Amino acid sequence: MNYYTTSQRQSDNKWDYTRNNRPVGYCRPYEKIDTERYGLTEEECSEYEKTSHKHHDCGHDTEEEARECYKQYLLDHNLRFGKMSNQKNKCRVCEEWTQGYAEIGNTMFVLCENHSNEESVSSLFTTPQQSWSSW
């Protein structure tokens, strides 16, 4: 079981977003991915490497900054767009009927074509203060 939350360091009182009390996302230094170990293609690793400059280990001044940092990591790496095949719902932004959606992990937002972008998702998505995961 994994526990995600913000944690304040005792050493310098800076904040990180953590999994089981260890920095995750951009709050941890960049590490090159072992493609064989994780079963990833070179293309998938290349996408990950494009954001290597966003990784850091300097911490954040506030808990909110740490949450925003992890939110950006999720938007950069876990945001997916798709279409529902058998139903229509109203867009969360403009209420137009659509089959479109965006998802980050187990969070889904119904979005029309005009609002299927990172900016719209970012305005709707908030990183939880704490969460549990079995993966």
Residue 57's nearest CA partner among 33, 22, 98 is: 22
The pLDDT profile of the chain, 135 residues, written as one tens digit per residue, is: 999 999 999 999 999 999 999 999 999 999 887 777 778 788 877 878 899 999 999 999 999 999 999 999 999 999 999 999 999 999 999 999 999 999 998 899 999 999 999 999 999 999 877 787 765
Residue 69's nearest CA partner among 28, 26, 7 is: 26
The reported pTM is 0.87
The distance in angstroms from the start CA to the end CA of the chain is: 7
97-131 b/e with 16+ CB inside 10 Å = b?
ebebbbebeeeebbbbeebbeeebbeeebebeeee
